[in-house]
Amino acid sequence: MDERLLFDRLHQALDVEPSPGAYDRLRVSLIKSPARPHGGLSFTFRWPKVGLRLAAVVTLVVLGIALVAGFVATHRVAEDITTVNSDHAITAYKLRLSDAYARISTEASNWNCNSGTQFAACEADANRLLPANYQWLNDLNAIQPPARFAIAHAQLRLHVTAQLARTYVWIAASRAHDAAAVDREVAVIRGQTGATWVQTMVANVVASKQRSAATYISSVRSEKLGLDGCASCQNLAGQSQVSCTGGQAPTCQDLVTLTATQVLSFQAALIATAAPNSMTTKDNRLQLDLGAAAAALVAMDDALTSGDQAAFNVGRTSFQQAMPAINRDAADILKS
Positions in the binding site for other proteins (CB under 8 A): 1-3, 5-7, 9-19, 22-23, 25-27, 29-38, 87, 90-91, 94-95, 98, 101-102, 104-106, 108-109, 111, 190, 194-196, 199, 202-203, 206-207, 209, 215, 218-219, 221-222, 225-226, 229, 261, 265, 268-269, 272
User: CA nearest 301: which of 262, 240, 244?
Assistant: 244
Q: Compute the distance between CA of residue 222 and CA of residue 235 in angstroms, rounded to an integer.
A: 20
One-letter amino acid of 101: Y
Looking at the Cβ atoms of 29 and 82, the one nearer to other proteins is 29
Q: In angstroms, give the least distance from the CB of 96 to other proteins.
A: 10
Looking at the Cβ atoms of 1 and 310, the one nearer to other proteins is 1
CB 205 within 8 A of CB 270: no
Looking at the Cβ atoms of 136 and 312, the one nearer to other proteins is 136
Q: Compute the distance between CA of residue 315 and CA of residue 313 in angstroms, rounded to an integer.
A: 5
Q: In angstroms, give the least distance from the CB of 212 to other proteins.
A: 10
Q: In angstroms, give the least distance from the CB of 33 to other proteins.
A: 7
CB 310 within 8 A of CB 246: no
Q: In angstroms, give the least distance from the CB of 261 to other proteins.
A: 6
Looking at the Cβ atoms of 246 and 335, the one nearer to other proteins is 335
Q: In angstroms, give the least distance from the CB of 324 to other proteins.
A: 23
CB 322 within 8 A of CB 292: yes
One-letter amino acid of 128: R
Length of the chain: 336
Looking at the Cβ atoms of 199 and 281, the one nearer to other proteins is 199
Q: Compute the distance between CA of residue 321 and CA of residue 308 in angstroms, rounded to an integer.
A: 21
Q: In angstroms, give the least distance from the CB of 16 to other proteins.
A: 6
CB 323 within 8 A of CB 237: yes
User: CA nearest 295: which of 256, 327, 241?
Assistant: 256
Looking at the Cβ atoms of 2 and 79, the one nearer to other proteins is 2
Q: In angstroms, give the least distance from the CB of 314 to other proteins.
A: 27
* Helix 213-228 vs helix 309-334: crossing angle, to nearest 10: 140
Looking at the Cβ atoms of 108 and 147, the one nearer to other proteins is 108
Q: Compute the distance between CA of residue 162 and CA of residue 212 in angstroms, rounded to an integer.
A: 35
